[in-house]
Amino acid sequence: MTISEKPSSPGRTIRGGATRDGILENAAALFALKGFEGTAFKDIADEMGITRPALYHYFASKYEVLEVLIAETSESTAEEMRAVRRRDDLSPSEKLHSVTANLVRERMAAPQRFRMLDRTESALPTEIANKHLAARRAVLSELTAIIVDGIRTGQFRETDERLAALSVIGMCNWVAWWYVPGRDKSDNIPATLADSAVAMLARPKHRLPTALGPAGAIAQIRDDLDYLDRLISE
C-alpha cells in the first residue's frame, strides 16, 4: 500500500477532495521517507493526487506544512502537559498516569508524524528546529516537574528525576514504531504503559510516608532505626 492509498484522515476538505489532516499525514510520511530537503512541495501534491494550486489553497509551502506538523505534534503536547501539572485535584501519580497515557494516545493516532520527527530532526531548517527543540525541552520540563513533586510528597521513590522523565518519554515515543492499527489492541495500550510509568517510580506501599514533609520522612527514619535496633539486639 502506498501512502496515497492509505485512508484519508478527517479534517477540512480542500480542493481535489483532500483534507488538511490527510495532507499533513502524507507529508509527514514523505518527510520520513525522503527527508525534508528531499521532498518537494509537488511531491506532496502528487502523493495526494491533487494539483499544486489545490495544495496552495491551504499551505503556502512545504516549510509551512512542517511548521504545522511541529506545532501540532510538539508544542501542543507541552501545553497539554502544563495544564495537567497545574491541576490541584490530581496527585502526582495521577498526573503522571494522565500525561503518559496522553503521550501514548498521540503517538498511536499519528505515528507517521513522530517517525518523521525522529528521522528528520537533525536536518530540520534552523528556525523550525529551534521551535521543535524548545517544545521538546518544555515537555521534558513539565514531566520532570511532575516527578519532582511526586518525590517531594513521598509518592515516588528518590531517583534522578530527569533520567526518569526521559525514560517515560522514550517508552511513549517507541509506540510510534511498533504500534500497528488493527493488529494491536489499542484500548488497553495507553493505560498499560501509564501504569508501567507509575509503577517504575512509585514507592512500595509499605514505604509510603504517614505524613507529608519532614514529619513523614522522620517517621520513616525512626521505623528504620527501630528495625536496625532489633537486628543489632538479636
- 26: exposed, middle or buried (Cβ count in 10 Å: 0-12, 13-18, 19+): buried
Q: What torsion do the CA atoms of 21, 27, 30, 35 make, to the nearest 10 degrees?
A: -140
- The answer to whether residue 154 sits within a structural domain is yes
- In eight-state DSSP terms, residue 11 is S
Mean per-residue pLDDT over the chain, rounded: 82
pLDDT of residue 6: 36
Tell me, yes or no, whether 11 and 110 share the same domain: no
pLDDT band for position 116 (50/70/90)? confident
Tell me, yes or no, whether 81 and 189 share the same domain: yes
Rounded-to-integer distance, Cα 207 and Cα 227, Å: 13
- The answer to whether residue 210 sits within a structural domain is no
Least confident of 49-58, 114-123, 130-139, 195-204: 114-123
**142-164 per-position pLDDT tens digit:** 999 999 999 888 888 888 999 99
Tell me, yes or no, whether 36 and 131 share the same domain: no
Q: How many structural domains does the chain have? A: 2
Tell me, yes or no, whether 149 and 184 share the same domain: yes
CATH code of the domain in which 107 resides: 1.10.357.10
pLDDT of residue 88: 95
Partner residues linked to 156 by β-bridges: 202
**Among residues 60, 91, 108, which one ends one of the domains?**
60
Contact 97, 197 (CB under 8 A): yes
- The answer to whether residue 232 sits within a structural domain is no
Query: Is residue 224's pLDDT more than 80?
Result: no
- The answer to whether residue 20 sits within a structural domain is yes
The mean pLDDT of 186-210, rounded to a whole number, is 84
Question: Domain range spanning residue 31?
Answer: 1-60
pLDDT of residue 15: 45
Residues 6+ apart with CB under 8 A from 221: none
Tell me, yes or no, whether 12 and 94 share the same domain: no
The mean pLDDT of 36-59, rounded to a whole number, is 88
Tell me, yes or no, whether 29 and 85 share the same domain: no
- The answer to whether residue 109 sits within a structural domain is yes
DSSP for 53-95? Answer: HHHHTT-SSHHHHHHHHHIIIIIHHHHHHHHHHT-SSS-HHHH
Higher per-residue pLDDT: 112 or 7: 112
Query: Is residue 100's pLDDT more than 90?
Result: yes
Tell me, yes or no, whether 43 and 157 share the same domain: no
Tell me, yes or no, whether 18 and 79 share the same domain: no
**73-87 per-position pLDDT tens digit:** 877 898 999 999 999
Tell me, yes or no, whether 25 and 79 share the same domain: no
